[in-house]
């Protein structure tokens, strides 16, 4: 429940912030490990709950920061390095913050070389964030969250760039209130809220796409608010984001922002029902971005305009909302927001707004929504937009007392007041939203590459056809639409529902042409589809006719297992099957696959080289429980396929694969050179890498093993030779393999005519242009 922020609220919030800062001493990082996992000290949840119950205003707090005292790469207990191939290394750190609903990380210093990728992996399938070097715009980085109390940070990097990696973690945010799952009255958004997928949102699809919620840090606490992507008179895609001054008003706070797009229910849950009051289970917003610059802010109308550090991900289907700075009184209004950081909702006011001071006081800085006719707002909704009957932004949420179960008011800072604000570019909107000083006081919304003046929708797509082409794919095709509005046809939106007579369609993708493959579907299942076209201005056509298709029967191998990394939370109905694969390196021993922890009966099947069935396998474990094990004392190098078969229904199952690799060189019979040597492009001479062999007697064997690791982007360019001490040449690779990447192979050479001792050389020549690489290492096994 949100309440009006009276003038005393500022003092109360300051006191609240001081209390949290004092609590930070209790959450100082403790350097102690449990089974290789760094365990952080848990915050005092009872104290936090007491503080939250006394808070009378301000943004919605969901977490507290645990100070890690600037842990740097290389510090004792802070992660481990492992070599995953001759060309690549991986650093990983496991961390746990007991009872956390979510975890996110403040990298007080981070430098990723071009080849590096950062993976933040939480608990459960799909709960991970992949970040590459191009996503980092400065030395600091605030990560998106992952769900649960445990996380693993992994950084993979090319061997040659490993030394360039810099990493320091300043704090970890312990999310004690679930942003995406409800557990108590403090965490659930009210059931009277209305999903944007409901009919109330049908006329507002563009505006819905412009709304994102965001997390940010202030002091030692983490908060959540809502904001809106807003357009400007140049029609550019500059990512200006309008939100509330009371959420963020300084660059220090703005720098910590992480914005999440398109977290919303794909179906309409009946307002007032228990499902409408329960956040979506174990879901994470797919598209996120970090970092921003404060452009303008002013407390009088409670606005802040920030510019996001990166372009909005195209997969978020962004829309730049239009705006109205005339000050004309709206005859009706709509608010689109994220209550308590939960899924996106819509609130509808059918009556005219009135001009007011904040909280109903004197003044003209705010719009007053007398009472909502559908839906409401809550903590976490702060900063969200208010649109008039013409679908133009007229303000952003400051606060109010509206909630499920009452007819009280909300107050929005007026965009027309923010337009001139405090009289300077840092305190008003006009410089940013009208960069060319056109004098416009209103402007329509648009999408990237669109003509904001185009209001003509494309024609309806025709002749939709659907075909179940496999057990997990349905292929769609249709006839093209046309567009006469001037902005041009931009593409097609594909919607799907499940079942032979379903009607609850939701969008599953977009297409630029007149065909689309819908993948990742369930076998032997009927799906219904419809398609509509959209143009560059964001206008949508009507829907095509409905087409249906049923996927074929069968299963497909899918998810990857990694050595020692469990997959948890698995479940299945009687007769269902889950497929996994694991790549096992040469020399691995004691390969074991285990399942455990289930409440039902799941059997384990393993086969090397191909997918197992219940009648074809290398190992089957099928006790009356789900605690199964398949072991191989000497493993083959290659891919093992693993199947979990439900003899009866089960849930809560864990699956893990483990193996040992002996990396100890075999003494005087083994010689290697791991120094990198660059291979010049299109050069007939090539380069050499030498190994000096001594201490051997007689000649080399007839089965000399030559192991070669070369990193290259087109191995069809390469000629690789072994040159014996007397100059004899043994060809290993002669421009085969076409466009494949890299050579990692062991060759057997009959070198029985060659003296073993002396300098052996590996010669590599690149005989075509453009693609380049290097020798990563090689070895001789006598």
**Residue 613 has which token pair?**
């069935």
Nearest one of 278, 277, 380 to 338, comparing CA atoms: 380
Q: Point out the catalytic residue in the list 255, 382, 409, 481.
A: 382
What phi, psi does 364 have (nearest 5°)?
Answer: -140, 30
Find out whether 159 and 776 touch, Cβ atoms under 8 Å.
yes
161 SS3 class: helix
456 SS3 class: coil
Count of beta carbons in the 10 Å neighbourhood of residue 84? 12
716: left (phi over 0), alpha (psi -120 to 50) or beta: alpha
CA 343 from chain centre, in angstroms, equals: 16
Rounded distance between C-alpha atoms, residue 655 and residue 132, angstroms? 29
Rounded distance between C-alpha atoms, residue 540 and residue 491, angstroms? 10
Q: Is 603 a catalytic residue?
A: no
**Residue 59 has which token pair?**
């943004």
Q: Is 487 a catalytic residue?
A: no
Rounded distance between C-alpha atoms, residue 428 and residue 436, angstroms? 15
Rounded distance between C-alpha atoms, residue 687 and residue 774, angstroms? 10
Rounded distance between C-alpha atoms, residue 230 and residue 429, angstroms? 11
Nearest one of 297, 322, 319, 316 to 307, comparing CA atoms: 297
CA 60 from chain centre, in angstroms, equals: 23
Find out whether 733 and 771 touch, Cβ atoms under 8 Å.
no
Instruction: Look at the block and give the residue holding tokens 């809220």.
Output: 193
Q: Is 302 a catalytic residue?
A: yes
Q: Point out the catalytic residue in the list 158, 206, 209, 302.
A: 302
- Residue 578: exposure state from Cβ atoms within 10 A (0-12, 13-18, ≥19): buried
What phi, psi does 468 have (nearest 5°)?
Answer: -75, 90
CA dihedral 86, 156, 101, 571 (to 10 degrees): -50
Q: Point out the catalytic residue in the list 174, 213, 246, 342.
A: 246
Rounded distance between C-alpha atoms, residue 307 and residue 255, angstroms? 11
**Residue 316 has which token pair?**
């978020």
Which residues are within 8 A (CB) of 245 and not within 5 positions of it... i.e. 6 or more apart? Answer: 297, 298, 299, 302, 303, 304, 413
Which residues are within 8 A (CB) of 644 and not within 5 positions of it... i.e. 6 or more apart? Answer: 570, 572, 577, 578, 580, 595, 602, 603, 604, 653, 655
SS3 string, 709-757, reads EEEECCHHHEEEEEECCCCCEEEEEECCCCCCCCEEEEEEECCCCCECC
The string of DSSP codes covering 241-285 is EEE-TTT--SHHHHTT-EEEE----SS-PPTTSTTTTSPPTT---
User: What angle is formed at CA 222 by the lines to CA 216 and CA 223, rounded to 5 degrees?
Assistant: 70
What phi, psi does 355 have (nearest 5°)?
Answer: -85, 140
Nearest one of 657, 684, 690 to 672, comparing CA atoms: 690
Find out whether 215 and 223 touch, Cβ atoms under 8 Å.
yes
Nearest one of 475, 671, 559, 729 to 128, comparing CA atoms: 559
| CA dihedral sign, ordered 138, 140, 145, 150 | positive
Q: What positions carry a catalytic annotation?
A: 246, 302, 382
């Amino acid at each position: 429940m949100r309440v009006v922020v009276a003038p005393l609220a500022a003092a109360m919030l300051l006191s609240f912030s001081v209390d949290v800062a004092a609590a930070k001493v209790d959450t100082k990082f403790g350097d102690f490990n449990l089974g290789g996992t760094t365990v952080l000290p848990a915050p005092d949840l009872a104290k936090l709950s007491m503080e939250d119950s006394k808070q009378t205003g301000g943004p919605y707090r969901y977490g507290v920061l645990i100070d890690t005292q600037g842990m740097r790469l290389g510090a004792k207990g802070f992660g481990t390095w492992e070599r995953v191939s001759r060309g690549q290394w991986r650093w990983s750190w496991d961390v746990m913050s007991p009872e956390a609903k979510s975890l996110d990380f403040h990298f007080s210093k981070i430098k990723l070389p071009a080849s590096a990728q950062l993976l933040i992996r939480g608990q459960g399938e799909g709960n991970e964030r992949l970040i590459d070097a191009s996503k980092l715009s400065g030395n600091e980085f605030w990560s998106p969250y992952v769900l649960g109390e445990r996380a693993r940070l992994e950084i993979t990097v090319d061997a040659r760039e490993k030394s360039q990696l810099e990493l320091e973690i300043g704090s970890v945010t312990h999310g004690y209130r679930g942003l995406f799952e409800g557990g108590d009255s403090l965490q659930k958004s009210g059931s009277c809220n209305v999903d944007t997928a409901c009919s109330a949102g049908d006329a507002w699809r563009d505006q819905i796409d412009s709304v994102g919620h965001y997390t940010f840090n202030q002091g030692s606490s983490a908060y959540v608010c809502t904001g809106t992507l807003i357009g400007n008179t140049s029609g550019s895609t500059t990512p200006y984001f309008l939100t509330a001054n009371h959420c963020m008003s300084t660059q220090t706070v703005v720098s910590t922002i992480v914005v999440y797009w398109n977290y919303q229910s794909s179906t309409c849950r009946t307002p007032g029902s228990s499902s409408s009051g329960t956040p979506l289970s174990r879901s994470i917003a797919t598209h996120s971005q970090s970092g921003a610059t404060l452009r303008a802010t002013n407390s009088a109308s409670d606005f802040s305009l920030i510019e996001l550090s990166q372009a909005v991900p195209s997969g978020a289907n962004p829309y730049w909302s239009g705006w109205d700075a005339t000050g004309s009184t709206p005859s009706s209004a709509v608010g689109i927001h994220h209550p308590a950081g939960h899924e996106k909702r819509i609130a509808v006011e059918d009556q005219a707004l009135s001009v007011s001071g904040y909280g109903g006081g004197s003044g003209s800085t705010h719009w007053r929504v007398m009472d909502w006719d559908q839906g409401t707002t809550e903590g976490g909704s702060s900063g969200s937009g208010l649109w008039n009957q013409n679908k133009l932004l007229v303000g952003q949420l400051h606060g109010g007392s509206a909630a499920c179960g009452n007819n009280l008011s909300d107050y929005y800072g007026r965009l027309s007041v923010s337009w001139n604000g405090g009289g300077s570019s840092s305190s008003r909107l006009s410089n940013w939203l009208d960069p060319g000083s056109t004098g416009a006081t209103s402007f329509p919304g648009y999408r990237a590459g669109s003509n904001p003046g185009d209001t003509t929708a494309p024609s309806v797509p025709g002749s939709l056809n659907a075909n179940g082409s496999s057990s997990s794919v349905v292929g769609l095709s249709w006839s093209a639409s046309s567009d006469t509005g001037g902005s041009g046809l931009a593409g097609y939106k594909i919607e799907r529902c499940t079942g032979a007579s379903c009607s609850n369609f939701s969008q599953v993708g977009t297409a630029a042409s007149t065909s689309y493959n819908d993948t990742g579907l369930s076998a032997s299942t009927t799906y219904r589809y419809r398609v509509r076209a959209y143009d560059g201005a964001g206008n949508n056509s009507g829907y095509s006719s409905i087409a249906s298709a049923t996927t074929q029967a069968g299963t497909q191998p899918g998810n990857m297992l990694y050595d020692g990394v469990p997959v948890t939370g698995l479940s299945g109905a009687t007769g269902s099957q889950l497929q996994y694969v694991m790549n096992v390196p040469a020399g691995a021993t004691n390969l074991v696959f285990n399942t455990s922890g289930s409440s039902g009966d799941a059997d384990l099947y393993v086969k090397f080289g191909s997918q197992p069935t219940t009648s074809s396998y290398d190992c089957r474990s099928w006790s009356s429980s789900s605690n199964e094990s398949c072991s191989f004392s000497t493993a083959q190098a290659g891919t093992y396929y693993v199947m979990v078969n439900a003899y009866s229904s089960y849930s809560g199952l864990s699956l893990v694969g483990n193996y040992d690799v002996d990396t100890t060189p075999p003494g005087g019979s083994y010689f290697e050179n791991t120094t990198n040597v660059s291979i010049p492009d299109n050069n007939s001479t090539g380069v050499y890498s030498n190994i000096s062999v001594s201490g051997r007697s007689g000649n080399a064997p007839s089965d000399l093993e030559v192991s070669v690791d070369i990193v290259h982007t087109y191995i069809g360019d390469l000629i690789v030779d072994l040159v014996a001490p007397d100059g004899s040449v043994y060809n290993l690779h002669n421009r085969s393999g076409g466009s494949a990447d890299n050579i990692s192979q062991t060759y057997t050479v009959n070198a029985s005519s060659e003296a073993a001792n002396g300098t052996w050389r590996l010669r590599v020549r690149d005989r075509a242009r453009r693609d380049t690489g290097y020798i990563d290492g090689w070895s001789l096994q006598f």
